[in-house]
Structures are given as structure tokens and as C-alpha cells.
Amino acid sequence: MAIELGLNEEQTMLKKMARDFLATETPKTFVRQMMNDEVGHSPEKWKKMAELGWQGLVFPEEFGGSAMSFRDLTILCEEMGRAVLPGPFYSTVILVGLPILDFGTDAQKKKFLPKIASGEMVCTLAALEESGDLWADDIHLRALKRGNEYILRGTKLFVTDAKAADYMLVAARTSRTQNLEEGITLFMVSAKEWGIYVQNMTIMDLTRKQYEVRFTDVPVSADNIIGELNGGWPILQQIALKAGAALSAEMVGVGETAMEMTVAYLKDRQQFGVVIGTFQSLKHRAADMYIAMEYSRSLMEWAAECVKEKDPDAPTAVAMAKSYCGDAVKFVTDAGVQLHGGIGFTWDHDMHLYFKRGRYDDTAFGDSNYQKEWVARKLESNLM
Amino acid sequence: MVSGETQKAEALREEVRAFLGKNLPEKWGTPAYKAPEPGSEQAIALNKSFTKKLYDAGYTGFGVPAKYGGVERPAGERAIIRAEILRSGIPLPFVGLGRLVVDTLLQWGTEEQKKRYMPGILSGQVHWVEGFSEPNAGSDLAGVQTTAVRDGNEWIINGQKCWTSGWDYGEWGFLLCRTDVKAPRHRNLSFFLFDCATPGFSRKPLRQMTGEPHAQYGELFFDDMRVPHENMVGEEGRGWYVAMTTLIAERGGGQVGAASGEAGLMGMASMRTLGGVDGLIELARTTRRYGQSVWDDTTFRRRIAQFAIENEAQRAYGIRLGQMIRNRTASGNEASMMKVTRTEQGKRQGDLACEIIGAYSQLVRGDPKAVNEGDYVFSMLMSRGTTIYMGTSEICRNILSERILGLPRD
């Protein structure tokens, strides 16, 4: 497939608009305010984003969206990474909005998508449990059938933005057979239901809140099953695919910003009577940061295009992008702290926000090690 | 319904495949094929005859106007031809260092120089040698000490160049000389082309750490060699800037390379010897150590996957760079990035192959028990040169940090 990378005119405008908006509306003072906030969600900013059409960017017009592409959406994700934006955009749009769009019934789309697009609804995905990995064998939360309802019982961990969420997409086990990838079902559950307890996890990256969510006999209607009964695992894999591309885009934003901050500092900071950017050991590290980010961007754009085009290579492209971006963002933000010296190690300097967000983005939906293993298995199967 | 465009593309693809099927050496692509020793007479002859056939068929010579012997084809057709040629596994590029001369002449040459030299280079019939590095001017290229002194309509050249690839079969050469002892640095150099048959020119091999009998590199000596003034490229005293064009082309940023999809001369050599990522996987799967196949060792497996990822990253970056060149937003310094990444990757690849074969990584070519006839070890050693030639990795990082990131010169 002939893939065009880079941005077209419309995408360049979208990127500029996003950067301007986030610079004005969500500067670091706002980010830090949200870091100290237990919920980490500003309904006011959320409304403003909806007015720009961000939450519904890829939804069809009939559901209140702008019918733009997945690649366009990753441009927003990249800019949000740049701004280390707190709040539930990723949870709502990437983790829940997209699977409803791809797998929901018409009635479900009508129920949820317009509200997401208009900024009236916040959602999140509750999939991970004790292991912290997205792995079929590790999904134990039970959904027992009772009439036309299911009763959920169990605990989810690392649930992003759960305190802000109106609805949670919950991965539950509805039957247990030999093949543990079967018997998983996804339910849209109102967060207001009795029996749902949301508790803070004391997390490193305060720009992306995560919670423990306990479900103690929570009823949910069978109408709220997304996709087929017992058919949840392939949907979770699709969510992981798109989240992987979106997180790669965030990592490009995070990494490039950390690099730019560092290069600016190297041009400004003086020691031994000269600007420290004249020292080769620091220049060479800066060059390596640049190289890491250029290749990250290349793989990320390729992966996003593959996802957009539903290319059969999309899973490989995303695994490669996520692995490379994960390694790159860890390297670049580590070097960012190091090259800033003492100031880079302080809470007041913004570098640690990028450092920590990069770690979240790498870890979520399989870190760079996991992705390499995936690629290795894929290479092996290609040879057979 | 198939569009006319698709049909045309399919027809071209078929045409290239048929051409390759007819013209590639016998047993090509099978384990039974034995390539002639690089640099040997047979290898040169094979290269010349095959490149001529490709050129005559219109499959190489891109990026240059037809009036200078170039082959003009739409980008879509070039991409199809490139893809088919890459699939056949023919080592690129075909025309060696001459391609750098083409890029250099395109920017700096006179009309007469372009017409005289380019067709022979593009059709692969004239091989060129490079005269840049000297024993006392490596990374600091502007410090070359070979001199050219004007005598009427000629220049008399004296000095020594080293690390010249293709030193023994080159028929023409280009070199950077000091033409003004008083002018400031970077403004005292001039760029010349010379015929290797000129009296006063001699050459000898330079044995490298790989130790093979046929030296890939050599040294060139100039002892009152007379070169006509018309062989100067660019103005007198502007040779540094001319050489920069050559270096950018060498590192992979040239116009010809961009048009043909062959990004630079370097880097892929070691990868080919190792058979690419597939070759590494095969090696790991068939090598048993400590009771299991090496592929079943997670660490090895993931390191191999990392190479596949890096290759895709370079491929995707190549697409972006192609667009930047078309949009004229590329600075030319991007070539330094490809140079440093490909060659550093090549070293790690060679190291990995040697780690996979363990104790056998101590056996070199010539030992009957050497794995793959010693090619892995040879490639591992050879890759050490790649991060030094054409601008060391350190020089490349200087270029990136200064010219792209805007950090101050030290």
C-alpha cells in the first residue's frame, strides 16, 4: 500500500488549532491544578473542547460528530501529549467512544455517541485486574445472568478517570471454557449504579488519574452489551490497537516537547563561562534525542495510517510504533532530566510531568518489551 | 474493474520481472549462487555488464535530465522498478561512487562537464575513486594538505589520499586539494576530476582490520600529476562547498539517491551479508545452545525484533524524507541521521550474529568450521569501518546538533 505520511493542509490547521487552544486554555498552571485535584477533570474545558468538535471528531455527523479520520484524531492526541493534558479525553474517546462506534448497535450509538460528542458524557474502560496486563486469562470479574440482567462482581484496577466517568465499559467473564479468550463480554455500566466503589490509586503520573473500582453485585441490562455475548476479547484487542496508536502519538508529543525544552535549555544555560550547548557530550545526546523522535514520529504516522486504512499490517505497525516510541520517550525524558541538571529533578520544573506521562503511555496496553515480543512472534509466524 | 493506471503498473511490474529473470546471473537468489569476490575482475565485469543492461532498459539513471544521460520516468514507475529490483536482492547501488560525482556536477558542474561525465557514470561504465581523506585529515577534512599549484592552463598536484574505496579499479577520480596556502580555512580548497591514467598518479592497497587479502581500500599518491584547468569543479577556492554536496550525497541525501530510492551508499552492506532480519531469525532458530534454540531465548528474540522495528522506522522515515525533499523542506542534513543510525545498527547486527554463534564467532574466513564461511564475523568486523567513514558517527551528531537543532559550534 502506498502510504502518504506527514500532514495535509487540513491536518496542519487542525494541529495548529489544537496547539493554540491547549496553550491558551490548559497551560501548566491548569495542568498542576488538575494534578492536585482528586478527579482531574474540568467540565468547563471539556465543554470547550466539545465546542471545537474534538470528542466527536471521528463520529459520523448523524451522531453529532465531524466524520474526520483516525489519523486526524491522533493529531489531537499528539498535541495533548505536548500539553501533558489531564482529563478524560483518552478514556472517553479512544477507550470507549471508538469501540461503541465500531461495535455498538444503532441504538447504543444513538444513546452514547451524541452525548460524548456534545461533552455531556465522560466514559472509561474498566478492563485490567490484579495482573495489570490486558490478558484474557487475567479477566476474572464475573457477570452472572439474572433474567434480562447481568450482575457484576469483582474488582478492576488501573481504571483511568473513573471518578469523572458517567459510564464505564467493563470487561467481564460471562462463561468459563477451556479457551479463556472466549467468555469475555463488554458491558456499558452507569457509574452511578449502587454497588460501584471508586477508590484512588496513589499514582506517579498525576496528569492521568487511575483508580481501583469495585463492583459489588452491580446490575446491568443485557441491552448494554457492546458486541456479542462472550465476544468481548476481539473488541478489547481492537481497543488495544487503537489505543496503541493513540498512545504512540501522545508519546511523540511528550518526547518532542521534552527534547525541545532540553535543547532550549542547552542554548541558554551557562557554566564554565560558556553556554553548555557547546559541549559535545551534551550535543551528541541532543542529537540522539532528535534521532529517536524522528523515527518515533515516522513509525507513529505509519501506524496511524495503517489503522485508518484498516490495513492488515496495522497490528504489526502499531506494535512496532508503540515499542519504538516507548523506548524513545523513556530515553528522551531521562536525558531531559539529566541535561537540565538539578533544576530538572525538582517538582517545580515541568520535565517530570513529561517523564511520568511518557512512562504511563509506554506501560499502558503493553510496554516496549511486550511489543517486541509480539513483533518477534509475528516474524516467526511469517516465516512458517 | 481495473483502471488503466493499475493495468499499466501491472504491465511494468511484469516487464521488470521478465527482464530480471532473463538477465540476472544463473542460480541468482539460490544458495548455489556464488558471488564473485568483491573488487575482483569478475565482479567489476559483472557489475558493468549488468548495470549497462539495466540502464539500457531504463531501470536506472534516475534523477538526472535526459540531456545528461539520465532516465526520466514518473515517480510511480520508479517506485515499481525499485520495488522489483529490491525484491530480486540485487545489491544497490549499481554505479558506485560515480553517483556522488553526478550529484556534485548537477549542482556545480559546467554544461560541458555534465555532458562529458554523467552518461558513463549512469550506465555504470566508468568507475570512480574518491580523494578526500588524508592521513592527517580525516574528520577535519578542511585540513587537507594535498596541494594543487597552477601552471598555465594546468594544475600540478602533489600529496597523498587514503581510505579510497575501489582504489584499484577506479578509472577516474575526484579530489579535494589546497590551492591557496594563504586564504582562510574552508576558502583555500578546490575540487578536481582526474583521469587515473595520468602520469604521476599511483596507488597501493591499505590492509584493514578484517584482514582479507584483497584490500577494499587503498592509498592514492600524486607526484607532480598534471590536471587540465577544465577539470576543476566549481570555482577556485570554493572546493569545500563542492565537497559538501558530495558528502551529503554520500551520506544518503543526494538527488540521485532520492530519485532512485537508494538512500546512500552505506549501511546496508552488513545487513545483506547477514541476510537481513529473516537471516538472523533463521540463524537463531537453527543454532542450538545450552539445550535450546537461540530463538527460544527471549533476550535474543527481542533483540532481533528490535532490528525489524528499526528497519520499518527507517523505511517510514524514508517516506517522510521523500516528501520533505519534494516539498523542499529538507535541509540535506537529514542524511547525517540516516548515516549514523544505519551504521550503528549495522554494528549491533554484526555483534548479535556473533553472539548467536558463540564460540564459532572466533573463526574467520578460511576455517572449515567457520559458520556461514566466516561471513558473520567478517561483517561484524567490517561494520566497524562504517561508523568511521563518510563522516564518523561523532561528526554526524555534531552536524545534527548544530545544523538541525541549532546548538552552538564548539
Enumerate residues 6+ apart whose C-beta is below 8 A from B234: B108, B190, B191, B241, B242
Beta strands A184-190 and A225-226, pairing class:
antiparallel
The whole-number pLDDT of residue A251 equals 98
Q: How sure is the predictor about B254, in pLDDT bands with cuts at 50, 70 and 90? A: low
Q: What number does CATH give the domain B128-239? A: 2.40.110.10
> Which of B278, B401, B409 comes nearest A287 by C-beta?
B401
Which residues lie below 8 Å from residue B261, measured CB to CB, with a gap of 6+? B78, B79, B82, B318
Grid cell, residue B40, equals 575482483
Highest mean pLDDT: which of A54-63, B327-336, B378-387?
Answer: A54-63
Q: What is the 3-state secondary structure (H, E, C) of chain B?
A: CCCHHHHHHHHHHHHHHHHHHHHCCCCCCCCCCCCCCCCCHHHHHHHHHHHHHHHHHCCCCCCCCHHHCCCCCCHHHHHHHHHHHHHHCCCCCCCCCHHHHHHHHHHHCCHHHHHHHHHHHHCCCCCEEEECCECCECCCHHHCCCEEEEECCEEEEEEEEEEEECCCCCCEEEEEEECCCCCCCCCCEEEEEEECCCCCEEEEEECCCCCCCCCCEEEEEEEEEEEEHHHEECCCCEHHHHHHHHHHHHHHHCHHHHHHCCCCCCCHHHHHHCCHHHHHHHHHHHCEECCEEHHHCHHHHHHHHHHHHHHHHHHHHHHHHHHHHHCCCCCCCHHHHHHHHHHHHHHHHHHHHHHHHHHHHHCCCCCCCCHHHHHHHHHHHHHHHHCCCCCCHHHHHHHHHHHHCCCCCC
Please state the ipTM of this predicted complex: 0.92
Q: Does B298 lie at the interface with A, CB-CB under 8 angstroms?
A: yes
pLDDT at B30: 74
Q: Classify A149 as helix, strand or coil.
A: strand
Query: Are A302 and B314 a contacting pair at CB < 8 A?
Result: no
Whether A54 and A117 have beta carbons less than 8 Å apart is answered as no
Q: Is the pLDDT of residue B85 over 90?
A: no
Q: Which three cell numbers stand for residue A192?
A: 452511578
Question: Does B302 sit within 8 Å of A287, measured CB to CB?
Answer: no
Residue in chain B lying closest to A275 (CA) = B408
Q: What is the rounded distance in angstroms from the CA atom of residue B148 to the CA atom of residue B190?
A: 8
Question: And the C-alpha cell for A19?
Answer: 496547539
What is the dotted CATH code of the domain comprising B4-99?
1.10.540
Beta bridge partners of A48: none
The stretch B182-209 carries a mean pLDDT of 93
Please give the class, per CATH, of domain B266-404. mainly alpha
A379 in contact with chain B, both atoms CB, cutoff 8 A: yes
Q: Does 3.30.70.360 match the CATH number of domain A125-230?
A: no
Which residues partner with A143 through β-bridges? Answer: A152
- Asked whether A124 and A165 are in contact (CB, 8 A), the reply is yes
Chain A residues with CB under 8 Å of B337 CB are 290-291, 294
Q: How many other CB atoms are there within 10 angstroms of residue A284's CB atom?
A: 18
Q: Are B114 and B70 contacting, i.e. CB atoms less than 8 angstroms apart?
A: no
Predicted local distance difference test score (pLDDT) of residue B264? 38
User: Which of the four pLDDT bands, split at 50, 70 and 90, describes residue B408?
Assistant: very high
pLDDT of residue B39: 72
Cβ contacts of B83 within 8 Å, gap of 6 or more: none
Which pLDDT value is given to residue B95? 65
- Cell, residue B270: 552488513
Nearest CA to A8 among A63, A67, A72?
A72
Best of A251, A267, A298 to disrupt the B interface (most B CBs within 10 Å) is: A298
The pLDDT score that the predictor gives to residue B325 is 76
Across residues B226-231, what is the average pLDDT?
97
Measure the CA–CA gap between B157 and B171, rounded to whole angstroms.
18
Helix B334-357 to helix B298-326 angle, to the nearest 10 degrees?
160
Instruction: Check whether B374 has a pLDDT greater than 80.
Output: yes
What's the alpha-carbon Rg for chain B, to the nearest Å?
Answer: 22
Classified by CATH at the fold level, domain A234-383 comes out as: Butyryl-CoA Dehydrogenase, subunit A; domain 3 (1.20.140)
Alpha-carbon span B80 to B143, nearest angstrom: 44
What is the rounded average pLDDT for all residues in chain A?
Answer: 97
Does this chain's domain B4-99 share its CATH topology with B266-404?
no
Answer whether A379 sits within 8 Å of B337, measured CB to CB.
Answer: no
**B 124-163 residues with CB below 8 A of A?**
none
Tell the residue number behind the cell numbers 470507549, with chain if given.
Answer: A96
Query: Among candidates B100, B133, B130, B131, which has minimal Cα distance to B117?
Result: B100
Q: Does A290 contact B306 at a Cβ distance shorter than 8 Å?
A: no
At a CB cut-off of 8 Å and minimum separation 6, what does B110 contact? none
Angle at A322 between CA A319 and CA A327, to 5 degrees: 125
Architecture of domain A9-122 in CATH? Answer: Orthogonal Bundle (1.10)
Mean pLDDT, all residues of chain B: 87
Between CA A229 and CA B129 the distance in angstroms is: 70
pLDDT of A69-116, one tens digit each? 999 999 999 999 999 999 999 999 999 999 999 999 999 999 999 999
- Of residues B389 and A170, the one with the higher pLDDT is A170
pLDDT band at B217 (very low <50, low <70, confident <90, very high): confident
One-character DSSP codes across A153-208: EEEEEEEETTTT-SEEEEEEE----SSTTSSEEEEEEETTSTTEEEEE---S-TTS
> C-alpha grid cell for residue B70?
539520465
Give me the pLDDT at residue B89, please. Answer: 72
B330 CB within 8 Å of a chain A CB: no
The distance of B380 to chain A (nearest Cα, Å) reads 23
Mean pLDDT for B117-130 is 92
What local confidence, expressed as pLDDT, does residue B239 receive?
A: 95
Which chain A residue has the Cα nearest residue B399?
A: A287
- For A270, the 3-state DSSP assignment is strand
Which among B84, B130, B212, B250 is annotated as catalytic?
B250
SS3 call for A119: coil
Q: What is the pLDDT of residues B26-78, one digit of tens each?
A: 887 777 777 777 677 888 888 888 889 999 999 988 889 999 999 999 888 88
Mean pLDDT is lowest, of A234-243, A343-352, B181-190, B269-278, for B269-278
Mean pLDDT for B7-11 is: 87
Residue closest to A169 by CA, chosen among A224, A218, A207: A224
**Touching check for B394 and chain A: CB below 8 Å?**
yes
User: Are A320 and A366 within 8 A, CB to CB?
Assistant: no
> With bands split at pLDDT 50, 70 and 90, how would you rate the model's confidence at B257?
low
pLDDT higher than 60, residue B324: yes
Residue A332: strand pairing partners = none
| Four-residue CA torsion sign, B214, B220, B225, B226 | positive
Strand partners, B190: B177
Confidence (pLDDT) at A161: 98
Q: What's the gap between Cα A155 and its chain centre?
A: 21
Distance, in angstroms, between A59 CA and closest chain B CA? 28
B18 touches chain A (CB under 8 A): no
pLDDT at B265: 37
Tell me which chain B residue has its CA closest to the CA of residue A323.
B309
Owner of C-alpha cell 561512487: B97
Is the predicted pLDDT of residue B268 greater than 90, yes or no? no
B250 tagged catalytic: yes
User: Under a CB-based contact definition with an 8 Å cutoff, are residues A221 and A148 in contact?
Assistant: yes
Buried b (16+ CB within 10 A) or exposed e, A102-139: ebbeeebbebbbbbbbebebbbbbbbbbeeebbebeeb
B155: alpha, beta or left? (left if phi > 0; alpha if psi -120 to 50): beta
Best of A269, A372, A373, A374 to disrupt the B interface by mutation (most B CBs within 10 Å)?
A372
| Residue pLDDT, tens place only, B289-323 | 999 999 999 999 999 999 999 999 998 998 888 78
Mean pLDDT is lowest, of B55-69, B181-195, B329-343, for B329-343
Q: In this complex, do B406 and A263 lie within 8 Å of one another by their Cβ atoms? A: yes
Name which of B316, B276, B298, B306 is nearest A375 in CA terms: B306
Global confidence as pTM: 0.86
> Residue A187, Cα to own-chain centre: how many angstroms?
20
- Residue A171 dihedral angles phi and psi, to the nearest 5°: -90, 120
How close A347 gets to chain B, by Cα (Å)? 27
Residue B208 identity (one-letter amino acid):
Q
**Is the model's pLDDT at A1 over the cut of 70?**
no
Give per-residue pLDDT as tens, A200-240: 999 999 999 999 999 999 999 999 999 999 999 999 999 99
pLDDT at B263 (0 to 100): 41
In this predicted structure, the answer to whether residue A356 has a pLDDT above a threshold of 90 is: yes
Sequence ranges of the domains in chain A = 9-122, 125-230, 234-383
Sketch the domain layout of chain B as residue ranges. Answer: 4-99, 128-239, 266-404
Of the listed ranges A188-197, A318-327, B208-217, the least confidently predicted one is: B208-217
- Beta carbons of B323 and A6 less than 8 Å apart: yes
Counting residues of chain A whose pLDDT is more than 70, the rounded percentage is 99
Q: A295 at the B interface (CB within 8 A)?
A: yes
Q: What is the DSSP letter of A97?
A: I
- pLDDT band of B270, cuts 50, 70, 90: very low
Those residues with Cβ within 8 angstroms of residue A181's Cβ, 6 or more apart along the chain or in another chain: A136, A233
Higher pLDDT, B339 or A330: A330
Question: Contact A114/A106 with Cβ under 8 angstroms?
Answer: no
Residues above pLDDT 70, as percent of chain B: 92
Amino acid making up residue B215: A
pLDDT tens per residue across span A8-36: 999 999 999 999 999 999 999 999 999 99
Q: Which of residues 72-101 of B touch A (CB under 8 A)?
A: 79
The answer, yes or no, to whether residue A2 has pLDDT greater than 60, is: no
Question: Grid coordinates representing A383?
Answer: 516465516
Give the contacts of B346 (CB within 8 A, at least 6 positions apart): B267, B269, B270, B271, B383, B386
Q: B227: burial class by Cβ within 10 Å (0-12, 13-18, 19+)?
A: buried
Considering CB atoms only, which of B79, B305, B408 is closest to A376? B305
The Cα–Cα gap between A271 and B90 comes to 53
